[in-house]
Structure 1
Amino acid sequence: MEPATAAAACPRLLVSLLLVLSCFVSPELVHGQPDALGFISIDCGIADGPSYPDESTRGLRYVSDAGFVDAGAGANAGINPPYSDRELAARYLTVRHFSGGAARSCYTLRGLSPGGRYLVRSSFYYGNYDALNRLPSFHLYLGVNRWAAVNVTAPDDILIFEAVVVSPADFFQVCLVDIGQGTPFISGLDLRPLRAAMYPEATVNQSLLLLNLRRPAARFALNRYHFWRPASFYKIYRYPFDSYDRIWQSYGDIAAWTNITTTANVDVSKASSFDAPPVVLRSAATPVNGTRLEFSWSPDTSQNNDSSSAAYLLLLYFAELQQLPGNVLRRFDILVDGASWNGSRSYTPKYLSAEVVEQVVVQGSGQHTVSLVATPDAILPPILNAFEIYSLRQMTELATNNGDAKAMMGIRTTYMLKKNWMGDPCAPKAFAWNGLNCSYSSSGPAWITALILSSSLLTGAVDPSFGDLKSLQYLDLSNNSLSGPIPDFLAQMPSLKFLHCCCNSRIGNNANICDNGASTCAPNDKQKNRTLIIAIAVPIAVATLLFVAAIIILHRRRIKQVRLDSRYMDGK
């Protein structure tokens, strides 16, 4: 649909005639890329410069976020004492905050594989960086879909959010959205590639959000737990123990539980859909006395889960760590809220062979409980080696089609346009870029149909990225300082109906079209614009026989009228 301020569509001939008013040059777009492992590890808030090794991951190299956000977006700040005086990873000592008034501020992660599966992790540590002691709240988005609410409840809170996503394009965006309750900020952002077979529940249309509930013994509010003890020593396993750099936390020391361990290798080949690291599976929790092991979880308010319809993916990891005599049996029932797990039979873990038992649970109450209950014939109590809980999030908001999105990013970079041009050009609708009209569909991506860049201080050549907007019908480049060689591709744009280029600098060998002493450029005056376009187009067109022929054929009536007017004037 054309914008309300647009003039009526011109014949396609005029598009061809106005090609002489445009030209194309596009500087190469440079963004941060994954490292040799395919990892992107960003320390937000440090100055642009060389990467550094992170001690907590035994050498993963973190880089500045300068290559992942628009130049000038946000500002860097350091954490203030006493919050900076603690044993923290380096990425928690600085933040990038976005206090410029933009509704949405985004990071663009490039160099990805379309359809590839990735773990995305964002981290936040306020640490009174602004010396105001004002705890902010804002929203976090995966591309164009809401991920979580970031609610800082204490200056020393470390908030981490993880998701498993399928990237629809060769780039992916993570955005912070200002909701008027404090300045959005971020400490770190990580992306890790996963094998194609891992977490098959994740699709382009559905992401897995790791449940974000904090336990007293846990450093972070992430529901991915192991059962090594004591918890004070075996706090966290991540890279290099987990080749995908997932964070596995200790569940804590439960008085009614003990743990069994082994130094033997645990075969994980039968659990390859989730690839838990063997070190995590070499320990298991089991009751000290009794025949039951239980844990519970509740809805995650940060993910805005509706209590009646939210669905969770529950992953339980089992491996028998003791070589049992033939007459000793470990067998147990797996119950969720008192009901048998998918109606399955009792379960017996296999010796030194890991398996994953998974189930999707639909939220129907305020709390869920998983119970492992020994069967009457069992000699030994149940065990549990590790577990993960994810919320299933439908990606209902559809992004701009990949070609249009990349074209707009190229245009934004070429002309260093700020406006509100952050994140996806068309989606969500509330954050659509100024100057665009988009065509939306319930079953496919959005397409850009109109682009108005009049009076936008555009200088130099017209970027060739305009030619990649395949559904563009209306293009307004008036009142700028564009110049350069004559372009060829505008005539090949399949949908373009109206091109408005008045009041630009010398293009080709044609002087500034408003510098003729007879007319002025008024983009909001439809009649003046139409008259001006025709006045310029006809003299240029008659310079070639092809254009003259086209004018004679397509504008026969207009030419007749001009001749009648001439006779009338001669007669007077």
Structure 2
Amino acid sequence: MTTGYGFYDLSTDCGALIRTAPTHNSHKLWQTDEPFIKTGENKALPTTNTLFQMNTLCYFLEGHKNCYSLPLQEAYRKFLFRAGFYYGNYDGLSKPPSFRLEIDGNIWANVTTSMSEEMIYYELFYITKKSRTSMCLIRTMDSDVPFISSLEAHYIYDTYKWMDNTTALYVHNRINYGASTSVERGMNLHAQHYNRIWKSKEISNYLNIHVEFIDYDYMFGENRPPWMVMGYAIQARNLTDSIYLSIDFSPRTAVQAYFILYFMDPVSRFEQNQTSSVEIYIEDNKMAVTDIPNIDGYLYDRFHAVTLFSLPVNGSANVTISPAEGSTLAPLLNAMEVFSAIDVSEGGHLFNFSSVLFIISLHVLIILVT
């Protein structure tokens, strides 16, 4: 979708010679990158991927910095940016490169590619500063040649409302617990708002539960998670058990972490006089208590989203979901998004915190949720 001001939604098939029209499997129009960058060389890979946009790439033999100029909507619009990489040994050297991504001069990510057949994605939630956004690939070693396979920018209206224009959110995880198949971004627009990728994760220590059929396109409420995500969950095996999850923030350390946890009972466990509520702990600190609604609840109250942010974390974090006092049903969790914050107000430095500030921040948050 475009207007005279620019794109609301931009999907770029880097290195492609022709654009690809929407299909049943991909509702997006994939542009070539020629209008957005004047440097680089196009390359078609010798192998064919299921995702056609990964069958070509653009690589940059010359220059320290090569930048895409993306004509998005006017300034101060919230976008999900996603850069995709598939090396595919396109150069025959079997030496996947490393390099850096920047957005409007702010550090986005240190990219590490691999010989793996899996596609590598780096995502960022970012509020644009101008009508054009600059996305640059930076050479960090003389021997490594930066490349890119796909570049996307999707307007995420009416969601993640606590974001501000001084902070970008680097996506570490977006997990669909209890599911065996990931929810990819190419699905029907009405089923998957904001073009997010939700990675599936079954955990043998817990019950992996799901509803067989959901007769809905999408869910109303905070951040609008897809129905096919909320139709799955992990559940503790017993009422008194907790769910224990470890979140790895590597390669970054000393980050300011953001967590969003999604809760809904997908299998209608409720019977007369049954209640379901959980307590949420980060590193043994009680952060919030929430009820778990039933799939058959009211339109705007079928799920609850709990957002915890400004949490300084060093390398990893332990998340615990425990039964709240009075709950008669075992705790469960459907999905979780995990971010770290990047300061984009003055050059994009990653947040760093002392142990004193860590204790103070947790104390303030505990007061707010109790």
- TM-score category by the smaller chain? 0.7 to 0.9
User: 2:129 matched to which residue of 1?
Assistant: 168
Identify which of 210, 214, 232 aligns with 1:263: 214
Match for residue 44 of structure 2? Answer: 78
3-state SS of 1:163 partner? strand
Partners of 2:261 and 2:347 in 1: how far apart?
33
CA gap of 1:361–1:164, structure 2 versus 1, over 3 A, is same
1:329 counterpart residue number: 275
Matched, 1:92 2:58: no
* 1:44 pairs with 2:21: no
- Following TM superposition, by how much is the alpha carbon of 1:375 offset from its aligned partner in structure 2, in angstroms? 3.4
Matches within 5 A, 1:357-436: 357-375=306-324, 377-397=326-346
SS of the residue corresponding to residue 34 of structure 2 reads helix
Matched, 1:347 2:285: no
Q: For 1:28-43, what aligned pairs fall within 5 Å after superposition?
A: 34=7, 38-43=8-13
Partner Cα separation in structure 1 for residue 166 and residue 256 of structure 2: 15
Pairwise CA distance, 1:266: 9.4
Q: CA deviation at 1:385?
A: 1.4
- 2:353 maps to what in 1? none
1:274-353 to 2 correspondence within 5 Å?
A: 274-289=223-238, 291-301=241-251, 305-307=252-254, 310-321=255-266, 322=268, 324-341=270-287, 344=288, 346-352=289-295, 353=302
Q: Aligned in 2, Cα 1:123/1:368: closer, same or farther, shift over 3 Å?
A: same
Deviation per residue, 1:508-563 (Å, 9 max, x gap): xxxxxxxxxxxxxxxxxxxxxxxxxxxxxxxxxxxxxxxxxxxxxxxxxxxxxxxx
Amino acid at match of 1:349: I
- Which of 185, 188, 193 is matched with 2:150 structurally? 188
Assess if the C-alpha contact under 8 Å between 1:121 and 1:189 holds in 2.
yes
Contact preservation (8 Å) 1:317, 1:385: yes
Tell me which moved more, 317-326 or 170-179.
317-326
Change beyond 3 A, Cα 1:320–1:257 = closer
Contact map agreement 2:82 2:153 (CA 8 A) in 1? yes
Task: Report which of the two structures shows the higher radius of gyration computed on alpha carbons.
Answer: 1
Q: Is the 8 A contact 1:54 1:90 kept in 2?
A: no
TM-score, normalised by the number of residues in structure 2: 0.82
Matched, 1:113 2:74: yes
- What SS is found at the alignment partner of 2:290? coil
Correspondence for 1:199: 160
- Structure 2: distance between partners of 1:371 and 1:119: 28
Q: Which amino acid aligns with 1:350?
A: P
Task: Write the deviation string for residues 339-395 of structure 1: whole angstroms up to 9, x where unpaired.
Answer: 101xx4x43212231121011153344321111111354321111111100111101
Residue in structure 2 matched with residue 429 of structure 1 by the alignment: none
Q: Decide which structure has greater helix share.
A: 1
Give the deviation of 1:77 after TM superposition.
1.0
- Following superposition, the deviation at residue 228 of structure 1 comes to 4.7
Letter in 2 for 1:170: S
Match of 2:34 in 1: 66
Is contact 1:206-1:392 (8 Å) kept?
A: yes
Closer, same or farther: CA 157–268 of 1 in aligned 2, 3 Å = closer
In 2, distance between residues paired with 1:32 and 1:179?
34
CA deviations over 1:135-184 (Å, ceiling 9, x no partner): 21100111110100111232534210111111111111111001115000
Once the two structures are superposed, residues 89-113 of structure 1 have per-residue CA deviations (whole angstroms, 9 ceiling, x without a partner) of 111111100001x111011110412
**SS of the residue 1:236 aligns to:** coil
Distance 1:168 1:56, change over 3 A: same
Equivalent residues, number: 332
Q: Distance in 2 between matches of 1:266 and 1:186?
A: 33
Superposition deviation, residue 55 in structure 1: 5.8
What letter is aligned with 2:233?
A
Amino acid of the residue matched to residue 220 of structure 2? S
Q: Where in structure 2 are there 5+ consecutive unaligned residues?
A: 296-301, 349-370
Structure 2 CA distance for aligned equivalents of residues 32 and 54 of structure 1: 26
Cα RMSD of the aligned pairs, angstroms, is 2.4
**2:113 counterpart of 1:152:** yes
- Note closer, same or farther for the CA distance 1:163–1:40 as it changes in structure 2 (3 Å cut): same
The alignment status of 1:208 with 2:169, answered yes or no, reads yes
Given the superposition, is the C-alpha separation of residues 354 and 150 from structure 1 closer, same or farther in structure 2, using an over 3 Å criterion? same
> What is the CA-CA distance between 1:56 and the residue it aligns to?
4.2
SS at match of 1:91: helix
Mapped partners of 1:172, 1:193: distance in 2: 13
- The residue aligned with 1:251 is 201
Q: Output the amino acid matched with 1:314.
A: F
Match of 1:127?
Answer: 88
What is the SS of the residue equivalent to 1:60? coil
CA shift for structure 1 position 334: 1.1
d(CA) in 2 for partners of 1:325, 1:105: 60
Alignment match of 1:226 (pick from 176, 194, 200):
176
- Summarize the Cα distance change of 1:253–1:266 in structure 2 as closer, same or farther, 3 Å threshold: farther
Task: Judging by fraction of residues, say which structure has more strand.
Answer: 2
8 Å Cα contact 2:5/2:131 also seen in 1: no
User: Percent of counterpart pairs with the same letter?
Assistant: 21
1:45–1:98 CA distance, 2 compared to 1 (3 A): same
Contact (CA 8 Å) 1:45, 1:96: kept in 2 or not?
yes
Superposed CA deviations along residues 260-293 of structure 1, whole A, max 9, x for unmatched, are 426365984342xx12123321222212346211
Give TM-score, length-normalised by structure 1.
Answer: 0.55
Alpha-carbon distance in structure 1 between the residues aligned to 2:346 and 2:24:
39
Q: For 1:379-436, what per-residue CA distance to the aligned partner results, in whole angstroms no more than 9, with x for missing partners?
A: 211111111001111014459xxxxxxxxxxxxxxxxxxxxxxxxxxxxxxxxxxxxx
